[in-house]
A and B are shown apart, each in its own frame.
Chain A
C-alpha cells in the first residue's frame, strides 16, 4: 500500500528528479565513486596488480603511533579555540557593517576587509612572521610603545596557538561576514522602521531584529563547520610551523602529510581521512538532529 503511493508521488514529481539529475550525476561520478574507493584504507596499494586486503592494519598503525594522541589533542584544542574565538567574529562584523549607511565608507570597509582572504597561506605566513618579528615587527613595536617587553611569538609554545587563531581571524573575518550581510539584507526594512518609531536604540534593534533573523543562518553554518572539526587548517599550520612549536601545533593533517603523503603511503593517508570524516559526520548529524529537536533549527 505504501509502495503504491510512493511510486505515485515519484511519478507526480518527475520534474524534480530531472532538475536534480545534473547535480546528482556530478555527485555520483566525482564523489560517490571516490568515496567508495576509500576502501583503499583497508588495502595495501599495488601499482601493478591487485591491491592487497590488510584489514585494519593502517588504522592500527595510525592509532598506535606515539604521536597520534598528541596530534589529536592539538587538533581538538586548536579547532575548539577557533570555533570559540573566530566563529562569532564575522557575525559581529556584519552587525557593525550593517549599521553603516550605504556610502563610500561602507564600500571601503567591505572592500578592504575581504582582501586577506584572497591571499594564500604561504603569503599570509610571510606577512605574520614579519609582523611578529621580535626585533622590528609591528606588533612588538606597539608593545614597546606601551612599555611592554618584546615577545617572540612564533617560537613561543604558549602563544603560537593564539597566533593561529588571530591570523585565521585576520584572514577570514571580513570574508565570512559577507554571508551574514547577505542574510541581513533580506530582513524587511519596515521592521526597523517600526522599531525606530517605538524608540528602540541601535543596540536594541540589533538584539531584537537583526540577531534573531540571522539565527537560522548562524546555526546552519555552525553545524556545517563542525564537520571540519578534525581539519584545523593544514595550509595555515604547515606554513607557520617551526621546530620550537611543533609539539603544540602539529595537527592530524600535518602529521599524516609527513608520514603518509611524503612517502607515497596513500593507504595510511586514506585511513586518516576516513577517521576524520567519520568524526565530522557524527558531529554534524548529531548536532543537527539535537538542534532540530531543541530549537527547530538545523542544517536543513
Chain B
C-alpha cells in the first residue's frame, strides 16, 4: 500500500510544468508546418493545433530531388561517425582513467589544452586540404573524432567502476585489453548510450563543416539540403529546385510555415531513436557484478 507522497506529487507537478514549457513552442512549430498557408496568420504563438490542414509544405520538401539522398547521407555520417567516436573515446578513456603509465599527466594536460584552444577555420581547412580529404565524408567525420569534453566524462564514469572488480580480473590473469572489452564496456552501458546519443545528435545536426568540406551536392547531408531551401527564400531557387512549381503556386506559399516544416523534417529521425536510447536508461543494467 503506497502512501500518498506529497514530495513526489510536487515533483511530478513541477516536471509536468517544465515539459509544457518545452512542448508548447515545439508543437506550435509543428502546427505551423501543417497549417493551410492562407490561414497562417490565424495561428498564435501559443497555438498547438493547425488552422486547417495542409501537407503542401512537406510535399514541396520531399519533391526536392536531393532530399532522399541527403537523408541517407546523414544516416551514413551519423552511424559511421558515432561508431568511430565510441570506439576511440572508450578505448582512450579506459587507458587514461584506469591505468597508470609514464607520461600520463602530460597527456591529460595536453588534452585540456586541445579542448580549450580553437584554431581558426583556415588552419583546419588547410589541414584537410593537405590530407586530400576535401569533398569527402572523412573530413566531416574526423574533424571531431574524439570530443575531449565527452572523453573526460567517460573517464569519470570509468573511474566509478568499483576497483574490486578490476582487481579480481587482474588476479584471474586478464590483460588490459580483456579487462576493457569484457568488464569495462559491459558495465558502462548507460554511459556509452549517453555518449552515443550525444555524438549521434552532433553528427546529425552537422551543418557548417558539411557545407565547407562537401562540394558534391550528392554528398550533402539533410541539414544542408534543408537550409538551402529556405535560406534565401528566393523565388528563383524554389521555382527551379522543385518540380511542378509555378509562380501561382509560389504566391500561395507561406515561407514561415515552409521553414517550420524543414525543422520538423530535420528533427523527426532523431526522435525515432528515442525508444532505443531510453532502453538503456532503465534500472537493472548496472546491478550485479560483484558481491561486496
Partners in one complex: yes
Q: Are B270 and A16 in contact (CB under 8 A)?
A: no
Q: Are A138 and B46 in contact (CB under 8 A)?
A: yes
Q: Are B19 and A108 in contact (CB under 8 A)?
A: yes
Chain A residues closer than 8 Å to B152, beta-carbon distance: 220, 224, 299-300
Complex CA–CA separation, A97 to B118 (angstroms) = 35
| Mask of A25-64 contacts with B, CB within 8 angstroms, 1/0 | 0110111111101101000010000000000000000000
Stretch in B57-65, B73-81, B140-148 with 4+ CB within 8 Å of A:
B140-148
Q: Are B92 and A273 in contact (CB under 8 A)?
A: no
Q: Does A111 contact B (CB under 8 A)?
A: yes
| Mask of A91-128 contacts with B, CB within 8 angstroms, 1/0 | 00100110110100101111111011111100100010
Given contacts A35-B117, A270-B120, contact A118 B267 (CB under 8 A): yes
Q: Are A178 and B197 in contact (CB under 8 A)?
A: yes
Chain B residues closer than 8 Å to A76, beta-carbon distance: none
Of the candidates A15, A96, A185, the one whose C-beta lies within 8 Å of that of B177 is A15
Stretch in A77-85, A150-158, A276-284 with 4+ CB within 8 Å of B:
A276-284
Chain B residues closer than 8 Å to A33, beta-carbon distance: 127
Knowing that A19-B180, A99-B8, A217-B153 touch, tell me 10 more A-B residue pairs with CB under 8 angstroms: A9-B101, A19-B176, A35-B113, A35-B117, A37-B119, A118-B267, A123-B263, A127-B28, A227-B116, A300-B152
| Most chain B beta carbons < 10 A, residue from A34, A97, A173 | A34
Chain B residues closer than 8 Å to A15, beta-carbon distance: 175-177
Complex CA–CA separation, A108 to B126 (angstroms) = 46
Q: Are B91 and A227 in contact (CB under 8 A)?
A: no
Chain B residues closer than 8 Å to A284, beta-carbon distance: 112, 116
Q: Are A228 and B116 in contact (CB under 8 A)?
A: yes
Interface size class on chain A is 35 or more
Given contacts A16-B176, A185-B190, contact A35 B283 (CB under 8 A): no
Complex CA–CA separation, A27 to B110 (angstroms) = 10
Given contacts A26-B145, A33-B127, contact A136 B22 (CB under 8 A): no
15 chain-A/chain-B pairs, Cβ below 8 angstroms: A20-B96, A22-B87, A22-B88, A26-B142, A32-B110, A34-B119, A35-B117, A93-B18, A99-B8, A117-B201, A181-B281, A188-B287, A224-B149, A277-B117, A300-B155
Chain B residues closer than 8 Å to A216, beta-carbon distance: 156, 159-160
Interface size class on chain B is 35 or more
Closest to A260 in B: B120
Q: Are A102 and B282 in contact (CB under 8 A)?
A: yes
Q: Does A133 contact B (CB under 8 A)?
A: yes
Q: Does B52 contact A (CB under 8 A)?
A: no
Q: Does A174 contact B (CB under 8 A)?
A: yes
Complex CA–CA separation, A48 to B175 (angstroms) = 53
Q: Are A100 and B127 in contact (CB under 8 A)?
A: no
Taking the closest CB of chain B, its distance from the CB of A230, in whole angstroms, is: 9
Complex CA–CA separation, A136 to B197 (angstroms) = 37
Closest to A110 in B: B278
Closest to A101 in B: B8
Closest to A288 in B: B112
Chain B residues closer than 8 Å to A20, beta-carbon distance: 91-92, 95-96, 107
Q: Which residues of chain A in 223-244 are interfacial with respect to chain B, using CB atoms and an 8 Å cutoff?
A: 224, 227-228
Q: Are B101 and A17 in contact (CB under 8 A)?
A: yes
Closest to A10 in B: B102
Q: Does A165 contact B (CB under 8 A)?
A: no
| Most chain B beta carbons < 10 A, residue from A123, A136, A174 | A123
Q: Are B146 and A23 in contact (CB under 8 A)?
A: yes
Q: Are A280 and B116 in contact (CB under 8 A)?
A: yes
Chain A residues closer than 8 Å to B89, beta-carbon distance: 23
Q: Does A4 contact B (CB under 8 A)?
A: no
Q: Are A221 and B153 in contact (CB under 8 A)?
A: yes
Q: Are A112 and B23 in contact (CB under 8 A)?
A: yes
Given contacts A137-B45, A224-B149, contact A111 B274 (CB under 8 A): yes
Chain B residues closer than 8 Å to A6, beta-carbon distance: 102
Q: Does B44 contact A (CB under 8 A)?
A: yes
Complex CA–CA separation, A227 to B112 (angstroms) = 8
Q: Are B156 and A119 in contact (CB under 8 A)?
A: no
| Mask of A237-253 contacts with B, CB within 8 angstroms, 1/0 | 00000000000000000
Q: Are B11 and A189 in contact (CB under 8 A)?
A: no
Taking the closest CB of chain A, its distance from the CB of B128, in whole angstroms, is: 9
Q: Are B102 and A113 in contact (CB under 8 A)?
A: no
Of the candidates A99, A127, A189, the one whose C-beta lies within 8 Å of that of B29 is A127
Closest to B111 in A: A27
Q: Does A73 contact B (CB under 8 A)?
A: no
Taking the closest CB of chain A, its distance from the CB of B199, in whole angstroms, is: 13
Taking the closest CB of chain A, its distance from the CB of B39, in whole angstroms, is: 16
Q: Are A273 and B119 in contact (CB under 8 A)?
A: yes
Chain B residues closer than 8 Å to A174, beta-carbon distance: 18, 22
Q: Does A202 contact B (CB under 8 A)?
A: yes
Q: Does B21 contact A (CB under 8 A)?
A: yes
Q: Are A38 and B119 in contact (CB under 8 A)?
A: yes
Chain A residues closer than 8 Å to B286, beta-carbon distance: 185-186
| Mask of B18-58 contacts with A, CB within 8 angstroms, 1/0 | 11011111101100000000000000111000000000000
Chain A residues closer than 8 Å to B119, beta-carbon distance: 34-35, 37-38, 270, 273
Complex CA–CA separation, A19 to B87 (angstroms) = 11
